Amino acid sequence: MPSIYLSAIFPAFNESQRILPTLQLALKYFNQKAFRYEIIVVDDGSEDGTVEVCQQAFADEQHIRLVRLRQNHGKGYAIKAGIEAARGEYILFADADNSTPIEEFDKFFPELSPTTVLIGSRFLQPELIERRQPWYRIAISRLANLVVRILLIKKVRDTQCGFKVFHRGIAAQLVQHQHIHRYGFDIEYLTIAMQNGAEIKEIPVRWINSPVSRIRPLRDSLGTLWDLCRITFNCWRGIYRN
């Protein structure tokens, strides 16, 4: 069993303005826990000094490791790089803007299992959303989730929340079979896990929409739709099974 219990991965692309408070909150939270942990920041080819901010602020912090990608490859690729670097028994990935506050992990901890993927859900208890997305992003998100439930994952209401936890055994299967590196990687991860017998469990979480968003509704929606087609085709080919 790994001596580190939890690896918390934060993918970051041009997050110099937001990554520092997120990591400070994560350190404060995890330092209160009895288990050993590590925080892995994966810089996905940032051009705004994200790497330098992390290096200057946490040069002497033994719990934080930095994985640097020289070019931008996409959030899914960054998380894959983080998983490959992780040493923990369980792996969490979360957003660099702390949109799901890190203390929500308290809800996940009692549910940890080697055979279960735990995912945050913004839809199970909508009253937990403290700052909502613009109406068009809500509409796009719900439409995308409806399509996913029809084509691939029937019982999951929110596949896109960026707060997910799983065992390192499941993580190995995810990166082994991963083909999607950008828009639809969350959906592919859940599909791979289910194809290999893992249970998917949603947990309602607090969620605070960041007023600074890099989401481009039209392009990102088309990208997600294309990735859904690819994932559905890959399922038909049977390439996600061990």
Produce one character per residue of 67-101: b if its CB has 16 or more CB atoms within 10 Å, e if not. Answer: bebeebbbbbbbbbbbbeebebbbbbbbbbbbbbb
- Residue 15 pLDDT more than 50? yes
> Which of 106, 99, 97, 105 has the alpha carbon at shortest distance from 21?
97
CA angle (102 as vertex; 56, 68 as ends), nearest 5: 40
- Residue 131 pLDDT more than 60? yes
Which phi-psi region, left, alpha or beta, contains residue 49 (left: φ > 0; alpha: ψ -120 to 50)? left
pLDDT for the residue numbered 160: 87
How far apart CA 232 and CA 148 sit, in angstroms, is: 10
Give the residue-averaged pLDDT of 155-161. 87
Rg (CA), the chain: 17
- Residue 136 pLDDT more than 80? no
pLDDT in tens, 49-89: 999 999 999 999 999 999 999 999 999 999 999 999 999 99
Side chain identity at 222, as an amino acid letter? L
- From edge to edge, which strands make up the β-sheet containing 199-204? 64-69, 37-44, 6-12, 90-93, 164-167, 116-121, 199-204
> Which of 215, 168, 170, 165 has the alpha carbon at shortest distance from 191?
170
pLDDT in tens, 169-183: 999 999 999 999 998
C-alpha distances in Å from residue 185, one per residue of 13, 20, 130, 177, 231: 16, 25, 26, 11, 9
Q: Which tokens hold the place of 226?
A: 């294309």
CB atoms inside a 10 Å sphere around CB 190: 22
User: What element of type H or E holds 92?
Assistant: strand 90-93
CB atoms inside a 10 Å sphere around CB 154: 9
- Residue 141 pLDDT more than 90? no
Domain annotation for the chain: domains and CATH numbers = 6-237 (3.90.550.10)
Only one residue has tokens 């998983």, namely 83
- Residue 1 pLDDT more than 60? no
> Which of 193, 191, 147, 190 has the alpha carbon at shortest distance from 169?
193
Give the residue-averaged pLDDT of 90-115. 97
Pair 109, 191: CB distance under 8 Å: no
Mean pLDDT score of the chain: 90
What's this model's pTM, rounded to 2 decimal places? 0.91
